[in-house]
Each structure stands twice: as structure tokens, then as C-alpha cells.
Amino acid sequence: MSSRNFITDFENMSAFGATAGGGINRQAGTLEDMQVRAWLRELFRELRLTERQDEIGNQFGIKEYVAGAPYVLVGSHLDSQPMAGKYDGSYGVLAAAHAAERVIQKIDDGNLIPTLNLAVVNWFNEEGSRFSPSMMGSSVYTGKLGLEEALSITDRDGVTVAEALSTEMAPDPSVAPAAASYAEIHIEQGPTLARNGNVIGLVDTTWGAKKYAVTITGDQGHTGATPMDQRKDALYGAAKYIVAAREIVDRFPPGALHTSVSTLDLFPNSPVTYAGEVTINLDLRSADTDVLVEAEKLLAKERKYLEEIAQVEITQELTHQW
């Protein structure tokens, strides 16, 4: 029987970065994130898991039984969006830690004979709200994203990932355990299970996601002095592009494509100047590769129609995940 109470641990964990509405604001590498990571480090110690941190900030609680054998890896992430629910990611990390405790006890009691090793993981910057792209720690772990590239990424204030992680313990480049299998328990984040009358489910497909920084460039001018027929208003162009991104969803079967524009930055962002440049974050998602490819083609056609309003340019591909 476990000596720890899951609900008590969850309440203590949720106090780090707690918001007035009962959620959390614990973005990657912030003080709140570092505090909960320190709390997890202590929890690992109490559960007799050896804590290790790799170079991108992934935290592993390791229990080795068979020298040289790979690991059963379980976990999720403790970082959050700016105004997030407290279950997203965090529940999966704590559930994994408590499950590991039960397995360790069964091995100690002689009820299980291990043939593999065990590790609990907290992926760094899985949410991607402060540092883009998302799923950073797991992408570096799987080789989808280069370590040096990830460490050099900056937030809006110019702080790099490497600088954000520098206040913690020294990383060990050799600690990332090779996984024989991986499991993660997670809330759904959407209404589908509840709408269908289910309380639990298994993931059988996942999104292919393509995320872009898109820059719309016009010519800024005075909101009063510049004649309307002479304006190249970047925000007007961005508005047209955002609507186009939303409306291409209707050209596909229901549920086949999700499109979102999640951020918008204006320059010069003055109340008496129409925008000369707008940058948005475009998110395309589908479980079907062909749908994503076709959606990109449709958006490329929409760009041509905006040429008289403003220039549209994809300035950076943020992620390409399958």
C-alpha cells in the first residue's frame, strides 16, 4: 500500500503558479516552473527514484534494475499555458510517479521480477507558450529537434532556453534513458469524450501539425491623413488572411482539418497609425497528411489575392510534427 496520498500531493503540486480561478500559470523556465521542478525533484527522492536532468531540461526519475536494459518510460509535463487548467500535463507526471512507487513496492515484495528499468519523466517546455515550438523536450529526446537549436531559442524578452535553464542543476548529457516503451495519461483537453458519454479512452490517432510564423507587410501611414485608396494596411491584409485560414476548414469533411491563428503582433502598434507589419502564428492540424498538404495549397492561393492589400510571407516554419 502506498504511503503517499495522491490528492494531497496533487494539491501541493498545484500550488506552484496557482491562479485565482483554480488553474495554473507555470510557463517553461519561469520561477513557478522551477519551483515545481524542485518539488518534483524532492518527490523523486522520497520515492527512491534517482533524479537526473538532461541538457534540454527533461527531468527523469530513474530506477535501474537491469544494467544496460532499456526503460519503461512514463510521465508528461509540468509546464503550462499562461492561464491553464491544473490537470493538463501535471496529472500525468504525478500519476506516473505514484504508479512507479507501486511497481517498486511490488518488486521489493517479490511480487514482480523486473526485466526492464523504470523511469518517470517531466518533459521540458511541452506547451511551448514561452518558447516556441512546443513539445521541445520530447522533440530533442527523440531527435526531431537539435539540442543547440532548442537551447538558442528566445522568448519575447530575448531570454534563451539555455539561460532559463542555467539556474538549475548542471545537466548530464548521458542521462536520457533509452525507452523500451512510453505511456502517458492525460486529460482530453476537448469535449469529445464527454459528448459521447465516455469517461476514459485510448488514443488511436494523433494530429499532424504544421505551425508557421506568417508576416504580413504593408506601408504604415496616418489613420487620418492617408487616403483610403492609397493604403496598404497590413492589419487589413492579416484580417483577410485569418478569415481565409478559418474558412478553408469548410472545404474538407467535418473534423478533417483544424486551423487557428493564435497570436498577433502589430508594428508600430500605435492608435493613430495603421499597421505596416503584422506577424501571426498559424496552426494547421489534421490526422491526414494529404489534408494538410491540400490546406497549404489553398492558403497559398489566398496569398495571391492579398497582393494589392499587403505582402504575405511565411517567415518561419515553427514546427512540422507527425
Which comes out higher in pLDDT, residue 175 or 281?
281
Query: Using CA atoms, how far apart are residues 262 and 110, in angstroms rounded to an integer?
Result: 52
Query: Using CA atoms, how far apart are residues 54 and 282, in angstroms rounded to an integer?
Result: 31
Domain with CATH 3.40.630.10 in the chain: 6-195
Please state the rounded mean pLDDT for residues 268-278: 94
127-178 pLDDT per residue, tens: 999 998 889 999 999 999 999 999 999 999 999 999 999 988 777 777 789 9
CATH of domain 208-321: 3.30.70.360
Which comes out higher in pLDDT, residue 237 or 169?
237
pLDDT for 171: 74
pLDDT for 311: 67
21-42 pLDDT per residue, tens: 999 999 999 999 999 999 999 9
Query: Using CA atoms, how far apart are residues 124 and 288, in angstroms rounded to an integer?
Result: 28
Domain with CATH 3.30.70.360 in the chain: 208-321
pLDDT for 223: 95
Phi, psi of 320 (to 5 degrees): -145, 90
pLDDT greater than 90 at residue 253: yes
Residue 320: band (very low, low, confident or very high) from pLDDT cuts 50, 70, 90: very low
- The whole model's pTM is what? 0.86
Question: Strand pairing partners for 281?
Answer: 213
Closest C-alpha to 78, from 149, 15, 20: 15
Is the CATH number of domain 6-195 3.40.50.1860? no
61-106 pLDDT per residue, tens: 999 999 999 999 999 999 999 999 999 999 999 999 999 999 999 9
Query: Using CA atoms, how far apart are residues 81 and 103, in angstroms rounded to an integer?
Result: 32
Residue 322: band (very low, low, confident or very high) from pLDDT cuts 50, 70, 90: very low
